[in-house]
Structure formats: structure tokens, C-alpha cells
A and B are shown apart, each in its own frame.
Chain A
């Protein structure tokens, strides 16, 4: 099991705060495609990912759905809980299997209302999340699947320890809210250009600088804002 320090929000806490929280942090293993929250349902826990990655997805009444933000070891899933929302407007789905710490709702509420450093960190994280979401809205409207795939691969890589992503093209298509053929075509182009290697549900990134060059500016915008707002997250 990873240590609590592997989540950068927890890592940014002082030793005293971490000591107070640690006995209450429950380690948990999350499987790929597991649903952590359904939209509109009450939240019981918040999750601090360490090695897993979680997609926050919006859903429309007609069933269309796509990712609005991605949360990994830089953040926390379930911010609505301490913002007084009780239920979340998005659905949270595990994108890459791995570990996380979870904390019961009343405990995070207690920490949040205590004010001080925990509240300060959580609030800064929320600002980075809002910026991330607003940029995704623009990206969805504006950019081609090819560019969106690059942006998404980069955001995912930043939250992983290696350069390999275990993910089927069907799953990527459902995350980006596009048809599978669109992802297959876009991934095919990247493979041909020597940027990625794809086989049996594994994507290996071979040329990260080129991937960044092929992505829309949305990746840079989100990365820079994260760097500015969460300066304690180590750069990639």
C-alpha cells in the first residue's frame, strides 16, 4: 500500500495535521471502470487517489456523457461534500486502477470547517478543478478528436508513475464522448508518427515532447494553472 504522502494534497499537510488524519484514512483499492459516485446521489466519502486515476464525467438527460476533469494524486474526489452540495453534479469513474485513501464525509466536513491549512489546501484545489472543468468545456466545443486525445493522454501521464496507460479504445471513446472509430483513427495516426505504441489495451507513450506539440493548448492551460495553484505538486 502506498503511503499517504503519495497524494500531494495529503503530503502538503503539516506533520501535526497528517498525524491527526492518518488513523482515519482508510486505504482502498479501486478497480478500473468502478463507479465511485453516481451524479445526484449523496456522498459518503471523499477519496484521495495515490496510484489510481479517476474521471469526473458529466451526463446529460439523453445519456450523452464525457469527462469534465481528471483527478489523480494531485487531488481529491468528492469536493461537493464539503462545499455544502451533499450530492455531486458529476459521476466519478475509475479510469486507471490503483489505490486511494478515503475519508468519511463527516470527518472531512469537520476538518474543512476547522479552517486553517486543510481548508486552505482544499479551496485551492477546488479553484484548480474549476479552471480544469471550464477548459474542458472549451476543448469539447472547439478541438478535434486528435487533439483531445493528445490532451487526455498527457493529463493521464502526469498522474501516472510510468509512461504506460492500461486502457481500451472503447473506454477512451466513452471518456472523450466520441465514437470508438474516432479514437481508433486518432490513435492510429499517433502510432504511425511514432508518438505512441498501442497493443492489447496498453498505450505506451514513446515521444512525450511530440505528444505535447500535437495537443491543443488546453493541456498547457490546465498544467500551468495546476502548477500555479498547487505549487507543492512536483512538476513532470
Chain B
């Protein structure tokens, strides 16, 4: 890999931002969890009992569109946090939360999160900034899904995912990509073939490998870069 992924550590970057004292406090309220690929943390309307600070894992937030399709509106890895509604005082999930990458996470109960956020202004500030990032991501995605080509969107999604997986290899089927990007399967197959023909990715038996990261960044819509810029701006 020539260029390193923007999110290259396996600790949680939100927790890393806290003072040592605050971080210790929060971690004392957390328990280490292993999240499994395709595990569903919540369906729309479900009560939310826990929030997660992913370290190695990452979680996809999907709005269902009928039963056959959905749209991914946000992706939370170790740069972020899963549990925005809880942080906003709501205990019901509006979206489907699906573990997209298996791995570790710090889990905290809703009650403890509420308590620690009230006690630690540093935690409140950090999570508020992340909520701003999520809103920006949702807004960006609305424009992206409407106006950008499937090939650009696929490139964006692969980059976002590889960043959160901390490696250039993404296990994923075309069916699932189609489900998440809210497009037909044949559209994904065509887009993946086009990216492969340009030497940017290699696709074999349900695994996508990013071969040329810089090239893939050029093939992606500007949304990928803008998401990263928004994150940096929110936390500068």
C-alpha cells in the first residue's frame, strides 16, 4: 500500500481525544465486545440499550427502502461512535444498525453513557462534534445517491470501508453492495468490472482488494474527500 488509510489506528479516536482522566472514567464504564460481521445491533423502532465505540469493528447505519433494498446513510468505525440517538436523549433506533466489519468495540450502557456525558463536558463536546460529522455525512449522502454514478459511489464506499477496516481488503458480495447502495445488482457488477478493468481493485470470490488506492480516490466522487475534510474540520 502506497498511501496509508486516513484512520490508521485501532484505538477509538473519540476516546483518544479525551483527557487521560476522562478516558479512564469512560473506559471503566465500558466493556470490551467482539462484534460479528452481519450482526444486527438494531432494527428501526428497536429500543437501544447500548452505545459502542468501535476500535477494530465498524457499523453501518441503513435506512430500509421496502424489504429488498436499503440505503447506507452513515458508517461508524474507530473514528466515531454508534449510538447517536442515545447521546441525543432518545432510546429508540430510527435506522438499521448492521456490523459491517467484525472486530472489537467498547460497549457502554445507555444509562452509563447518559451519566458520563452529563458529568464529563469533554465527552459531551466530543460526541456533539461527532454528531455534527454524522449530519454532514447524511447530507452528503443525500446528494451523492441522487447525482453520482454507481461507479463513483462504489469507489467512495470501498474507500470509506477500507479506512475503517484498517486494511485494503473488503469482504463483500455484489448482492449486499447493491442492497446497501440502493441499486440493482447488475449495476454493481458493471461498476466493479469497470473499476477492475482500470486496475484499481481486484474482485475474487466475495472479496474486494484495493490495488491502487490513489487511483480509486480519483475514481470516487468528491464526497469521499469532503467527508474526511468535514471530520478534520469538526475536530480541529
Q: Tell me, yes or no, whether A binds B.
A: yes
Q: Which residues of A contact B (CB under 8 A)?
A: 56, 58-62, 64-66, 68, 79-80, 82-87, 89-90, 113, 115, 120, 123-124, 126-127, 129-131, 133-138, 140-142, 177, 225, 228-229
Task: Name the residue among A56, A83, A134 with the largest chain B CB count within 10 angstroms.
Answer: A134
Asked whether B84 lies within 8 Å of A130 as measured between CB atoms, the reply is yes
Which residues in B have their C-beta under 8 angstroms from that of A124? 88-90
- Is B186 part of the contact surface with A, judged by Cβ < 8 Å? no
Taking A115-B118, A177-B146 as contacts, is the C-beta distance between A138 and B182 under 8 angstroms? yes
Q: Bound complex: CA of A58 vs CA of B143, how far in Å?
A: 7
B125 closest partner in A (C-beta): A84
Task: Name the residue among B92, B125, B222, B234 with the largest chain A CB count within 10 angstroms.
Answer: B234
The one of A82, A86, A141, A177 in contact with B65, judged by C-beta atoms closer than 8 angstroms, is A141
Which residues in B have their C-beta under 8 angstroms from that of A228? 92
Task: Name the residue among A61, A115, A141 with the largest chain B CB count within 10 angstroms.
Answer: A141
Asked whether A127 lies within 8 Å of B88 as measured between CB atoms, the reply is yes
- Is B134 part of the contact surface with A, judged by Cβ < 8 Å? yes
- Is B211 part of the contact surface with A, judged by Cβ < 8 Å? no
Q: How many Å from the CB of A55 to the closest CB on chain B?
A: 13
Asked whether A130 lies within 8 Å of B143 as measured between CB atoms, the reply is no
Which residues in B have their C-beta under 8 angstroms from that of A113? 121
Asked whether A59 lies within 8 Å of B143 as measured between CB atoms, the reply is yes
Q: Bound complex: CA of A83 vs CA of B144, how far in Å?
A: 24
The one of B89, B134, B144, B182 in contact with A120, judged by C-beta atoms closer than 8 angstroms, is B89
Taking A127-B85, A137-B73 as contacts, is the C-beta distance between A85 and B134 under 8 angstroms? no
Task: Name the residue among B89, B134, B143, B148 with the largest chain A CB count within 10 angstroms.
Answer: B143
The one of B85, B129, B145, B222 in contact with A140, judged by C-beta atoms closer than 8 angstroms, is B145
Sample of 13 more A-B contacts, CB < 8 Å, known A60-B222, A133-B138: A56-B139, A68-B139, A86-B233, A115-B118, A120-B89, A126-B88, A127-B84, A127-B94, A130-B134, A135-B63, A137-B142, A140-B145, A141-B182
A-B residue pairs in contact (CB < 8 Å), sample of 30: A60-B143, A60-B148, A60-B222, A62-B147, A64-B143, A66-B142, A66-B146, A83-B129, A83-B131, A85-B129, A85-B132, A86-B233, A89-B136, A120-B89, A123-B89, A126-B131, A127-B89, A129-B135, A130-B131, A130-B134, A133-B139, A134-B95, A136-B142, A137-B73, A137-B138, A137-B145, A138-B63, A141-B182, A228-B92, A229-B90
Q: How many Å from the CB of B127 to the closest CB on chain A?
A: 9
Residues of B in contact, count (CB < 8 Å): 39
Which residues in B have their C-beta under 8 angstroms from that of A177? 146
- Is B140 part of the contact surface with A, judged by Cβ < 8 Å? yes
Q: Bound complex: CA of A113 vs CA of B129, how far in Å?
A: 13
Q: Bound complex: CA of A37 vs CA of B182, how far in Å?
A: 31
| 5 shortest interchain CB distances as A-B pairs | A137-B142, A85-B132, A89-B136, A84-B129, A123-B88
Which residues in B have their C-beta under 8 angstroms from that of A140? 142, 145-146
A87 closest partner in B (C-beta): B233
Q: Bound complex: CA of A79 vs CA of B131, how far in Å?
A: 11
B145 closest partner in A (C-beta): A141
Taking A85-B234, A123-B88 as contacts, is the C-beta distance between A134 and B129 under 8 angstroms? no
